[in-house]
Amino acid sequence: MHPSSLEIAVTAIFIALTTAIEFDTFDGPGFPACHNVSAVYQPTSVDEMVSLVKMAATSSIPVRASGKGHMWYDTMCSDDNNTIIIQTEGVHGISNFTLDGDTGSVMIEAGVTFFELADYLHARGASIGYALVNWNMTIAGAVAMGAHRSSLREASMVASGALEIHIIDATGTIQEIVRDENDDTWLAASTSLGLLGPIARIKFKIYPDFKLYAQQTIMDEDDVLNGDIYGLIAPYATANFWWWPYNRKFHHRYYDVVPTNQSSQEGFQSTFSITEFEAVTARTLLDSGKLLETSNMLAETIFFGIWSAPNFHEKTTDTAITTWPVYGWDYDVLIGGLYPGLLPEWDYNLRGYTLELAVPVTMANQLLKRVRELFDAQLAQGITMTATYRSGINIKFGRPYNDLLGQVWDEDTGDVDWTKGAIMFDFPSYRPTWGDNLRFNEPFYHNLSTTLINEFPCRPHWTKNTRTVLEQSVKNLDTEHLRRFKSVREKFDPNGIFKSIVGEIIGVV
């Protein structure tokens, strides 16, 4: 412990308690992750994080860690106005790199982002394999919330890459929890929702760097809805669909390993980079779509066309790649980031609502057909619903992974079989910039989520759902898992200083 940082912490809190601070998501002002916190700290070392937790615990002040705020709704903290935030950006050391043959490990601190670690590893001929989500978020934040990419063949929970998770408990002690599937402490720490305390460090598994291809085809909707969905996804290292319900098409995207010498192309993916011209065009169209369904129909058709071409640039020259398949290094192909000089869409005031629900992949056809019925029921009333997001509706998949609160935990209850994996229905939609900011035919979205949660054993994503969706989903969670999680949580944090809305809704704090 550093007495100096403890003193600074105490003084700063004393000053900050008199004002109200909205702590925002990546969408910025007006998009609170926490409505009213008393202070936001930006420590620069793990020792300082420990001091802050000790100080908060002494005064029974609630405390939450935050990485990059890459979440959608007001569920990060509880509604306790005294809450303090430990913003981890400045604590981003990477150390103890070892790579011996096919595998190795590296120690990262709380604020290390995916792109920071990828750059560090690539320079050393290594990578983090498939445990990837997006570029500008912390690995600790992704592990805490059970984030995942899309694969049935490979482990794709970010937490699956963690070998040790070091958590600061409510006494300010760093507990080093080592992977052990027979230990409830590990199973709770693996998807902890931040409720055991801030993650200070993670020992992460690494691999030699490798190259991949990315391929994409267009499928008719009927061929997916009535097709062998498992068979279209499971053969690949990673694969997903994007659904265009107005156009009645899917994009089928898949990736797999190629020999390093197969191609000298260095493809770099970007999902979120856009030019100002594209942003203004999309915003104008989609804003009018709040009232005019024809605008949404046109927007989906344009987006579908754009999304059919590779969303990749050649990294060495920053020029567009125009033909599939695309080749490149694993991180660049699977995630990439922003193209040089371009901003992500949200920096142009293009913002979204979202929803993500997982059901067993054995119910994949049934799920997508039910969604189609809900779209068609609107159509029968003369209302055309569309995707209003530049990459359509994202349909992802998850290989089973054992922990207590992950979206893809491995379980067969007799009625419901999660052992083959999960399909995720991830439905982002445009948030109009004007008026009440509600969408065209807003009630449809709520009907849809309620219907799916009532008819399917949906497990919610922990940072992509509103409070209401989380509340509705509680009935589908395993009560025994919640009980076991709660009992570990009580050992780490008997007084509940790490509480959050998510933890309150699922009844574990």
Residues that bind ligand NAG (CB under 6 A): 20, 36, 68, 79-81, 95-96, 107, 136, 259, 261-262, 337-338, 378, 441, 443-444, 447
Residue 431 interacting with ligand FAD (CB under 6 A): no
β-sheet bridge partners, residue 213: 256, 327
Q: What is the full DSSP assignment across 464-504?
A: SS-HHHHHHHGGGS-HHHHHHHHHHHHHH-TT-TT--HHHH
Q: Which of residues 155-194 bind ligand FAD (CB under 6 A)?
A: 194
User: Quick one: what does residue 81 bind among ligand NAG, ligand FAD, none, with the CB cut-off 5 to 8 Å set by partner type?
Assistant: ligand NAG
Q: Could you give the CA distance from residue 206 to residue 136 in angstroms, rounded to a whole number? A: 19
Q: What is the full DSSP assignment across 220-263?
A: EHHHHHTS-HHHHHTTSSEEEEEEETTTTEEEEEEEEEE-TTS-
* CB nearer to ligand NAG: pick between 17 and 218: 17
Q: Find the shortest distance in angstroms from Cβ 263 to ligand FAD.
A: 26
User: Quick one: what does residue 443 bind among ligand FAD, ligand NAG, none, with the CB cut-off 5 to 8 Å set by partner type?
Assistant: ligand NAG
Residue of 219, 79, 237 lying closest to 156 (CA atoms): 237
Residue 142 interacting with ligand FAD (CB under 6 A): yes
* CB nearer to ligand NAG: pick between 36 and 288: 36
User: Quick one: what does residue 269 bind among ligand NAG, ligand FAD, none, with the CB cut-off 5 to 8 Å set by partner type?
Assistant: none
Q: Which of residues 83-122 bind ligand FAD (CB under 6 A)?
A: 88, 110
Residue 138 interacting with ligand FAD (CB under 6 A): yes
Q: Find the shortest distance in angstroms from Cβ 109 to ligand FAD.
A: 9
Q: Find the shortest distance in angstroms from Cβ 30 to ligand NAG.
A: 13
Distances (CA, A) of 239 to 154, 386, 408, 423: 10, 23, 16, 11
Residue 68 interacting with ligand FAD (CB under 6 A): yes
Residue 116 is encoded by which pair of tokens? 């920071």
At 38 the three-state DSSP class reads: coil
* CB nearer to ligand NAG: pick between 24 and 410: 24
- Burial class of residue 316 in the structure, from the number of CB atoms within 10 Å of its CB (0-12 exposed, 13-18 middle, 19+ buried): exposed
User: Quick one: what does residue 166 bind among ligand NAG, ligand FAD, none, with the CB cut-off 5 to 8 Å set by partner type?
Assistant: none
Q: 364-380 vs 442-455: helix axis angle to the nearest 10?
A: 150
Q: Look at the chain and count its residues.
A: 509
CB 421 within 8 Å of CB 399: yes
User: Quick one: what does residue 278 bind among ligand NAG, ligand FAD, none, with the CB cut-off 5 to 8 Å set by partner type?
Assistant: none
Residue of 162, 148, 203 lying closest to 334 (CA atoms): 148
Residue window 6-45: x/- pattern of binding to ligand FAD, with contact defined by CB under 6 A:
--------------------x-------------------
* CB nearer to ligand FAD: pick between 127 and 247: 127
Stretch that binds ligand FAD, among 62-70, 452-460, 465-473, 487-495 (CB under 6 A): 62-70
Q: Could you give the CA distance from residue 20 to residue 26 in angstroms, rounded to a whole number? A: 19
Q: Find the shortest distance in angstroms from Cβ 174 to ligand FAD.
A: 12
- CA dihedral 231→211→408→388, nearest 10 degrees, is -80
* CB nearer to ligand FAD: pick between 246 and 425: 425
Q: Find the shortest distance in angstroms from Cβ 446 to ligand NAG.
A: 8
Pairs from 155-158 (Cβ < 8 Å, separation ≥ 24): 155/130, 155/131, 155/399, 155/401, 156/130, 156/131, 156/238, 156/398, 156/399, 157/131, 157/191, 157/398, 157/401, 157/406, 157/408, 158/131, 158/132, 158/133
Residue 129 interacting with ligand FAD (CB under 6 A): no
User: Quick one: what does residue 106 bind among ligand NAG, ligand FAD, none, with the CB cut-off 5 to 8 Å set by partner type?
Assistant: none
* CB nearer to ligand NAG: pick between 262 and 433: 262
Residue of 213, 216, 241 lying closest to 332 (CA atoms): 213
Q: Could you give the CA distance from residue 222 to residue 242 in angstroms, rounded to a whole number? A: 14
User: Quick one: what does residue 500 bind among ligand NAG, ligand FAD, none, with the CB cut-off 5 to 8 Å set by partner type?
Assistant: ligand FAD
* CB nearer to ligand NAG: pick between 378 and 402: 378
Q: Could you give the CA distance from residue 70 to residue 462 in angstroms, rounded to a whole number? A: 12
User: Quick one: what does residue 107 bind among ligand NAG, ligand FAD, none, with the CB cut-off 5 to 8 Å set by partner type?
Assistant: ligand NAG
Residue 3: enclosing H or E segment and its boundaries? helix 3-16
Q: What is the DSSP letter of 396?
A: E
Q: Find the shortest distance in angstroms from Cβ 179 to ligand NAG.
A: 15
Residue 459 interacting with ligand FAD (CB under 6 A): no
Residue 76 interacting with ligand FAD (CB under 6 A): yes
* CB nearer to ligand FAD: pick between 149 and 459: 149
Residue 496 interacting with ligand FAD (CB under 6 A): no
Those residues with Cβ within 8 angstroms of residue 442's Cβ, 6 or more apart along the chain or in another chain: none
Q: Which residues bind ligand FAD (CB under 6 A)?
A: 26, 64-71, 76, 88, 110, 133-134, 137-138, 140-142, 144-145, 147-149, 194, 198-199, 463, 500
